[in-house]
Chains A and B, each alone.
Chain A
Amino acid sequence: MSRFEEIESSKEFQQLKRSKQKFIWPITLIFIIYYLILPLMAGYAKPLMTSFVFGNITFGYLYGISFYIVAWGLAFLYVYQARKFDKKAAEIKEKYSVGKKGA
């Protein structure tokens, strides 16, 4: 068994992988669906999209801007989570005391 297989079959590594997957996939899928609602709203909810929320700002404009805010928010959420994963990965590399490359 190579050291890669040894690490891969370890409990810590499987745990790291699972917690990563549990974090990335639901958010990605929900985000894709959230974005795809935009063209549908544009096509089928025109009155709502053109209604004014305050001043001359329409719902459609704020809704569009919300995508930028959400994308940036998710980016920072990712950084926050990834630091935890980095720590776990470092522990695994430490435990199997392999190589000096990587952080």
Chain B
Amino acid sequence: MSPQIFGVILFVVIVALTMYVTYIAAKRNKDTSDFYAAGRSLTGMQNGFALAGDYLSAASFLGIAGLVALHGYDGFMYAVGWLMGYVIVLYIVAEPFRNSGKFTLADVLSYRLKARPVRSAAAVVTLAVTLFYMVAQLVGAGAIIQLLVGIPYEAAIIFIGILMIIYVTFGGMLATSWVQIIKAVLLMSAMIIMILFIAVLFNFNLSSLFGAVIDENGVGFLEPGRLYTNPIDLLSLGLALILGTAGLPHVLVRFYTVPDAQAARKSVIWAMMLIGFFYIMITLIGYAASVFVGRENIAAVDPGGNMAAPLLGQYLGGGEGTFGGELFMAAIAAVAFATIIAVVAGLVITGAGAFAHDIYTNVIKRGEVDSKKQFKVARNAALVIGIVSIIVGILAKGLNVAYLVVLAFAVGASANLPVIIFSIYWRRFNTNGAVASMLIGTITAVTLVMIGPSVMGENAIFPLANPGIISIPVGFLSAYLFTIFSKKEENAQKFAEMSVRANTGLDAE
């Protein structure tokens, strides 16, 4: 048996396994509560794995390994930020969010404010964030699969697109969650195996790994500033990461899949353990790749460094051309594929919720739609969002869209987080403040990126690639100012209701 065939087999096994869970889930996918929230049937641990599977993208797995392998300490420092946002998720958002919402982010935001304007704005922001994230994922995925497996970009995107549509339209949130759980298990296992190989090579001594890193790349490799030359830009990125996670709709809707706030809490703890270990391991993999594969070799295959982890796998398995080496590399390619499909499926179902539950059911039809029809519209919305994503993904071929992920975090922090926090914790907050913050926060973040170096390069008008340092204060300030300079809203009863629900779980759906 040739190692390439092993790769194909592993790939087929992943597709077959995910199709099987979709088939099982489809039988239980009967109404909107199943479709959007997996019938609230997940345990805290299951949802923790699903959260990790939803969150850890191929850009983290392959991209950060590459950043560390090519740029040393700056790659490691970049990786740190991705776990930090979960402290905010846990302390401020997860439990009240679970207790006061139903299917979408807009459910929470519009709970005690004027429902239609707030819900419309929240749905638009959710769709924007989801689209940014999706395009970045698909374009990255197409390029990575082309690199790993050699199939054309367009074919890769269409294939991934069809899979995500099948998972979501047939299996709803239950299938999506299990695809994410399977991916999390595969990804963590692959990394633990790699780390064990590396640990044996260095006699379980971290200091000798870094000794080898210094011998190979010089002491300067462990010094910050090789990639990020502007500390203010880095501060701006850090702000977006730590505050943006708690404003990402596809992360937040996962809390609806568990029965209560206690399970939501448990799921964040599990997710934090998994995500933290992931980022610590991936940076060690990156450092090891810089030693064993070498920076020149990694950059020669892909200047972005995406091949650092697969090439390290090849080395650890015995080297190029050996059975073990090719086998290891094929396995990593299959895991990267599983990583991609789990993330995009989560995005499709989140977009479908914003479109079908928020815009169609509650804004256009004012909630007067029977549940059968709601269920049907939800599935159709998933289909449409999937198809649109495939088309946009193909059109964006070759564009550098990595900055869209950072933009998604910036919009989450600037437009969603202020409104989430104020609607849960601030009695005086009103509709004007919510709508203004969502619109101004989004527009500020998007505009600053459009006139910044990521899009305009040398001619940038705004000097920073990361808009957070401006757009996040702007988002919070507009929420505050538009509230205090507009009339008080008479919603004391609704606020009392939301506050009691958020803090005690009374009547939570």
A/B interface sample: 12 pairs, CB < 8 A: A4-B496, A7-B506, A31-B84, A42-B224, A49-B73, A49-B223, A50-B223, A58-B222, A64-B80, A67-B80, A68-B276, A71-B84
Name which residue of chain A comes closest to B212, CB basis. Answer: A56
Name which residue of chain A comes closest to B268, CB basis. Answer: A75
Q: Which 8 A-B pairs have the closest CB atoms?
A: A43-B231, A55-B207, A42-B224, A8-B496, A56-B210, A39-B234, A102-B505, A89-B504
> Which of B84, B90, B210, B499 makes the CB contact (< 8 A) with A8?
B499
**Known A-B contacts A42-B77, A68-B83, A99-B506; A24 and B500 likewise in contact (beta carbons under 8 Å):** no
Bound: A56/B225 CA distance, A? 19
Which residues of B have CB within 8 Å of A36? 235, 238-239, 242
> Which of A2, A31, A89 makes the CB contact (< 8 A) with B496?
A2
Interface hits, B60-88 → A, CB 8 Å: 73-74, 76-77, 80-81, 83-84, 86-88
Bound: A60/B239 CA distance, A? 20
A interface residues, Cβ below 8 angstroms from B: 2, 4-5, 7-9, 13, 16-17, 20-21, 24, 27-28, 31-32, 35-36, 38-40, 42-44, 46, 49-50, 54-58, 60-61, 64-65, 67-68, 71-72, 74-76, 78-79, 82, 85-86, 89, 92-93, 98-99, 101-103
Name which residue of chain B comes closest to A102, CB basis. Answer: B505
**B224 engages A4 (CB within 8 Å):** no
- B260 beta carbon closer than 8 Å to chain A: yes
> Which of B83, B242, B276 makes the CB contact (< 8 A) with A32?
B242
**Known A-B contacts A54-B207, A55-B207, A55-B211; A68 and B506 likewise in contact (beta carbons under 8 Å):** no
Which residues of A have CB within 8 Å of B154? none
Interface size on B, residues (CB 8 A): 63
**B76 engages A61 (CB within 8 Å):** yes
**B505 engages A89 (CB within 8 Å):** yes
- B486 beta carbon closer than 8 Å to chain A: no
- B192 beta carbon closer than 8 Å to chain A: no
> Which of B76, B207, B235, B504 makes the CB contact (< 8 A) with A92?
B504
Bound: A92/B225 CA distance, A? 53
The minimal Cβ–Cβ distance linking A98 to chain B, given in whole angstroms, is 6
> Which of B242, B273, B496, B506 makes the CB contact (< 8 A) with A35?
B242
